[in-house]
Copies of this chain bind each other. A is one copy, B any other.
């Protein structure tokens, strides 16, 4: 239920921005998937030959299927094309805490526009997602690949960009010294250059201060200035939002491991659980579908790390304990009253109240135990006496109180009783 709640929030937020749902098959032709995510990813692909001798594989992300889908249908769909996709992906790797061979991805992307407006809205979507999930303290770290490339250009290190950015991406995990060492040993970067890159990447301060410092460093770099301009626009809009000062920060050290990002990049860190890593990441890419079509399809998007977010919520105590989606249990004392029990269930559902009817006239103690275990909010009780009197006992399982209410008034009573906590049971 906690997982479904997150999916529901993601869908609601995505839809509120005009992203439409798509789904693609779990199985793609192997040639569609292989060679798209690098050697490591190819090794992890679940691949086999099916009954029709087709070489097929289970998708390892939702981006490659989107690229295939967009290449195939973009003429028909038109641009900008905004889609979200929530579905399982598979990777044959060693499972660990919060890492599974099958896991859910929860992506949204705006395809077919180079406009920075889409980048800014991507940030808004991430913010709304976290707010709606109920996270109070979080920071979206933003950077721009063009700024990084501009800085490397100024250091004369642009040819080593891929190596440097991959190392830089590990800064949080392995620390400055290890990154320096890796850049020198694996990347063959001179010590002075590596150190200079890290100094720039570790610029600290308010976004406007960092933007100013970067402007100085990036004089004469066209690429770098383009990236800076996008960041300036983004922070100008953030300034209008009235968010806490640490809601969106400019962090020049963020590189994201993936090679295909070319512009804005995003990471989202929980204020109360930074160690769990980014719970929502993404970025802008110049050409999504170049392997499938000659049409250029730029885009920007991000992905909610649903399983990681769930793990975080569990650790922070933010998941509900009830295992029933219905707040009311109609207990059964007397099998002769089955039509009445069922009818009460129907009346309550018609009043919008989720209601389970206990299916057997078992010992009431056992039914109450069941109600506790599932986490129902109210129990309805009626036996021969109540049927004769036309009343029902309503037991409030949170308060422990019990009242007698006329049959016809039960739905109204419960609607009112559940109103302050209307969302808790649904």
Q: Which residues in window 326-342 of A have CB below 8 A to B?
A: 326, 329, 332, 338-339, 341-342
Q: Is B342 within 8 A of A18, CB to CB?
A: no
Binds B, one of A180-188, A249-257, A354-362, A401-409: A354-362
Q: Which residues of B contact A346 (CB under 8 A)?
A: 124, 241
Tell me if A345 counts as interface (CB < 8 A to partner B).
yes
Q: Which chain B residue shows the least CB distance to A21?
A: B4
Rounded to whole Å, the gap between the CB of A343 and the closest CB of chain B is 6
When the two chains form their complex, are residues A359 and B110 in contact, meaning their CB atoms are under 8 A apart?
A: yes
Once A345-B121, A346-B241 are accepted as A-B contacts, the answer to whether A18 and B115 lie under 8 Å apart by CB is no
- When distances are taken between beta carbons in the complex, the residues of chain B under 8 Å from A236 are 339
> In the assembled complex, which residues on chain B have CB atoms less than 8 Å from the CB atom of A58?
26
Is the CB of A222 closer than 8 A to any CB of chain B? no
Q: Which of A295-344 contact B (CB under 8 A)?
A: 323-326, 329, 332, 338-339, 341-343
Whether B323 and A354, one on each chain, are in contact in the complex, defined by CB atoms closer than 8 angstroms, is no
B51 near A48 with CB under 8 A, answer no
A20 B354 Cβ-Cβ under 8 A: no
Q: Are B102 and A27 in contact (CB under 8 A)?
A: yes
> What is the count of identical protomers in the complex?
2
Q: In residues 90-127 of chain A, which contact B (Cβ within 8 Å)?
A: 90, 92, 101-102, 110, 113, 115, 117-118, 120-121, 124
Bound-complex Cα distance A58 to B90 (A): 12
A240 at the interface (CB under 8 A from B): yes
CB neighbours of A360 from chain B (8 A): 80, 113, 115, 117
Assess the A237–B50 pair: CB atoms within 8 A.
no
In the complex, the answer to whether A3 meets B23 with C-beta atoms within 8 Å is yes
Report yes or no: A373 in contact with B118, Cβ–Cβ below 8 A.
no
**Residue in B closest to A114 when the chains form the complex, CB atoms:** B360
Structural contact, A27 and B90, CB atoms closer than 8 A: yes
> What is the size category of the interface that chain A forms with chain B?
35 or more
Instruction: Say if the beta carbon of A15 comes within 8 Å of chain B.
Output: yes
A220–B25 alpha-carbon span in the complex (Å): 53
Whether A80 pairs with B358 at a CB distance below 8 angstroms is: yes
Question: Is the CB of A1 closer than 8 A to any CB of chain B?
Answer: yes
Q: How far is the CB of A130 from the nearest CB of chain B, in Å?
A: 15
Report the Cα distance A68→B121, complex, angstroms. Answer: 44
Measured between beta carbons, the chain B residues less than 8 angstroms from A16 are 326, 349, 354-355
A332–B117 CB distance below 8 A: yes
Which of B50, B323, B324, B354 is within 8 Å of A46, CB to CB? B50
In contact, A17 and B92 (Cβ under 8 angstroms): no
Q: Are B15 and A338 in contact (CB under 8 A)?
A: no
What's the Cα separation between A176 and B391 when bound, in Å?
Answer: 52
Is B356's CB under 8 angstroms from A18's CB? yes
A37 at the interface (CB under 8 A from B): no
Q: List 24 A-B contacts (CB under 8 A).
A: A1-B21, A15-B326, A16-B349, A18-B329, A18-B356, A20-B324, A26-B90, A43-B51, A44-B51, A46-B50, A51-B92, A52-B92, A78-B370, A80-B358, A80-B360, A113-B359, A115-B359, A115-B360, A117-B360, A236-B339, A237-B339, A240-B339, A240-B343, A241-B346
